[in-house]
Structure 1
């Protein structure tokens, strides 16, 4: 141990109190919300971020030229935002990429304007990354909700949720993106920049593409905590643009899986996974239209 005089370290090494403070310092988390004509859900999204009990956060909202009053809602919170603007014609993936490039933050995430964080989500994420410096990507669990903010239930009257996974690259390639709900996934800026960021030519499966690129470097970590609510409704891209998703999924499969040279059994498996994912979305639509029940006890404090 280095000698100290009058409480000061005379050998140049940081004192114990400083080391303890640095060890307890939580990483800065940057959240980017792209939005376009989502005024119905936007306020709940914004407040779910700003109400997080985590001081070291930065929040950027980028609007794509909304005409439904979304910009007026954003302006109500302008004093608590790192930055916001509205650019007509900018795609979702372009907005996300621009937000990450212009904002500061060691840990990154984007939260679509129809989704919400659950209480203490950022504290869980910050604690995990500070205690696991080798972790690059963290995946949490998420609750599936409907347009009214009610938890979607299955035929057994159980709330539908996604527990998250700690998949490898090959797991992601074979199983698709079904193990992830995007708002409950966080990653370090270093790995994001290492893989070249988001592919702005993709407008639907850019999250799946990004996960595959990051999974090539390291297996994902999983935290057993609910971090977000993923909203399914009739206007969301998840339910109305299956054809676009299938087209982009095929591009990704060819990009990473070299689908044309894969053995027949593996091609069949990948096609099955694609069918399974499409069936899941069909089933979710059915639950939304005919099987939505009251929110289960305990979820009322999470959503509006």
Structure 2
């Protein structure tokens, strides 16, 4: 059994694809949809799937991280994950990740390769994902969240994601799992798709993302690699400029 939390807010146009991709997986799943009080057609989508869901609710909440923790806490699956409502799993992804995790019982988390889907153009490209290494994790986030599968025992050991974080709850979680339960293990196959569109938090709050990421690295690694002070500020500025130009 895999427990899947699906946090969502006004993502009705994407939600059906996300849920379809979960229920087409080849392993038993229990799915909890945590909607933050959407005003679009999200409730219609949720109603369409309600008989398949292990649980759902729609009301104002304390944010994405708190919603993820809420959903996973309600489940009983040996493995847990969350899928944002604008992302989706590739066919057979969870069964392959579960098999890999079962074959490596000391790994607190396994993670696969992901694709970015550029919503504006319909193009795909590979997310930067690589085998786990602490120094590399300090230089950049080398794990793509939609492609992760976590043992419930490890999740509970670190207390889930930090509800005080807005942008880097996943990056912080990889660090805490590594420090408390052992290094995550890379599974080299494609397993999920991350949808890139102009309404994502990463696109609309780049400076906050950068600030939280630096604080996360400093807290867990003890120092911030020079790369963060040189390359990353330029990247934040450039991508913000491109976004304004294209929108």
Question: TM-score, structure 1 length as denominator?
Answer: 0.74
Q: Give the ranges of 4+ consecutive aligned residues of structure 1 lying more than 6 Å apart after TM superposition.
A: none
Q: Distance in 1 between matches of 2:34 and 2:185?
A: 29
Q: Secondary structure of the equivalent of 1:80?
A: coil
Give, in angstroms, the shift of residue 90 of structure 1. 3.0
Moved more, 238-247 or 64-73: 238-247
Q: Distance in 2 between matches of 1:169 and 1:215?
A: 9
Answer whether contact 1:163 1:224 (CA < 8 A) is retained: no
Give, in angstroms, the shift of residue 81 of structure 1. 0.8
Spell out the pairing of 1:217-232 with structure 2 (5 A cutoff): 217-232=181-196
2:46 is equivalent to residue 46 of structure 1: no
What residue is the counterpart of 1:170 in the other structure?
135
What residue is the counterpart of 1:5 in the other structure?
none
2:53 to 81, 84, 109: 81
1:244 to 174, 188, 208: 208
Q: Distance in 1 between matches of 2:188 and 2:242?
A: 24
Q: Secondary structure of the equivalent of 1:203?
A: coil
Spell out the pairing of 1:96-245 with structure 2 (5 A cutoff): 96-147=68-119, 150-152=122-124, 160-162=125-127, 164-173=129-138, 175-177=139-141, 179-216=142-179, 217-245=181-209
The change in CA–CA distance for 1:39 and 1:168 in structure 2 (over 3 A counts) is same
The change in CA–CA distance for 1:237 and 1:196 in structure 2 (over 3 A counts) is same
Q: Distance in 2 between matches of 1:149 and 1:221?
A: 32
Q: Distance in 2 between matches of 1:38 and 1:136?
A: 30
Whose strand proportion is higher, 1 or 2?
2
Instruction: Render the CA deviation track for 1:152-210: whole Å, top value 9, x for unaligned.
Output: 3xxxxxxx11263222333312x221x22210011111111222221100011100110
The alignment covers a number of residue pairs equal to 246
Gaps of 5+ in 2: none
Give, in angstroms, the shift of residue 72 of structure 1. 1.5
Instruction: Render the CA deviation track for 1:42-72: whole Å, top value 9, x for unaligned.
Output: 1111111111122x21111100000002012
Moved more, 86-95 or 228-237: 86-95
Instruction: Render the CA deviation track for 1:59-117: whole Å, top value 9, x for unaligned.
Output: 11100000002012111101111111112133111100111111111111110000000
Give, in angstroms, the shift of residue 282 of structure 1. 5.8
Answer whether contact 1:35 1:112 (CA < 8 A) is retained: yes
Q: Secondary structure of the equivalent of 2:164?
A: coil
Gaps of 5+ in 1: 1-27, 153-159, 260-265, 291-304
Answer whether contact 2:174 2:184 (CA < 8 A) is retained: no
Question: TM-score, structure 2 length as denominator?
Answer: 0.90
Answer whether contact 1:109 1:186 (CA < 8 A) is retained: yes
RMSD value over aligned CA atoms?
A: 2.4
